[in-house]
Amino acid sequence: MIPPRPTKAPMLDATARSDGSYDTEAYAVMEQRDSQLIQSELLYGAGSSKFVYQFAMGGKTVTGISVIGARHLAAHYGGIKHQLIGSIQKIGSLFTFTAYPQPGIPMSMQVQVLPDLRGEPDFYGAVVQVTDTKSGNVIQVEKREERFEFRRDGTPYERPHYALIAQSKAYRNAVLDLLPQDVQIEWCAQMVALGNSVPITESVIDMKREAVLKFATARGLQINRLGLDRLTMNQISGLGDAAREGAAAFVKAATMAGVMRSTDSFVTAGPALSESTEKAADPAGEKVKAAEAKPEPTPTPPPAPAPALAP
């Protein structure tokens, strides 16, 4: 079933937080880039040499391994055994559960109709099992991908190869959860040194800019797009913190950042931006300005002279 377009206004996530939590938008961009790599490989073959993603977060460089990179990492490590053991697919109210053959277990399929879940988004989920034959460790991981995505104008479209994308991402997550961290760190450093990495900072900041525009448009606020493009990652993240506090805090932060647009001209940072601050710091000056702005009373004409009396 085609899901309705989300109507909830988007919220912005900060790049770095005091509790050390990660920027979910950065990982969302990395997931999206992985989907593009998988589709490109299905259509044109394995031709990408970008095995590692890099993005800045909190003044540090965070490195992540792509789906294609996970395959090369597993080949580099050796002794990795992978198997698709199960899947679940939802289309409308129809659910299809598939168990793939394993030693001593034949393939089986079960179909079930659940009318109460018809309105939920359609998806495909894959369960993969990865075994490290060197250590004997085994891990099972599930990954789901939704059937539909939305264009910028809000119209839905069916994602091509979303089932294979779920399988590939489940494999990547399982490999990264199973292999030792020291092996991954050393391999990532080698890939970065060889130039087999792609920075996604620009993609993340573009996503944040779009979120700022959506947040402002949903509340009838006008944003200076040129000024927004000049903001740094930390400044846009600050707007995200303000957006979580509400529209009033967002307007104040956007005004101080020089991207809030007035009715006549763009508001810029600096003395012209702090007019309210000057009034609060100089109440006397505010009274003078108010007095100067007060219109002067219209003078009353003098009364006409009385006519002279005849003798």
How confident is the model over 60-94, as pLDDT tens digits? 676 778 887 888 889 889 999 999 999 999 999 99
Residue 47 above 50 pLDDT? no
- Structure-block tokens of residue 284: 């006397």
Structure tokens at 100: 């793939």
**Can you tell me the distance from the alpha carbon of 55 to that of 58, in angstroms, rounded to the nearest whole number?**
10
Q: Which one has a higher pLDDT value, 100 or 307? A: 100
Phi/psi at 11 (nearest 5 deg)? -110, 155
Residue 13 has pLDDT above 50, yes or no: no
Q: What is the pLDDT of residue 107?
A: 93
pTM of the predicted model, to two decimals?
0.54
pLDDT digits (tens, 9 = 90+) for 200-239: 444 566 767 778 888 888 888 888 888 887 887 778 878 8
pLDDT for position 190? 83
- For 61, phi then psi, to 5°, come to -100, 120
Read off the tokens for 221. Answer: 């606020």
Provide the 3-class DSSP secondary structure of residue 133. Answer: coil
* Count of C-beta atoms within a 10 Å radius of residue 138: 13
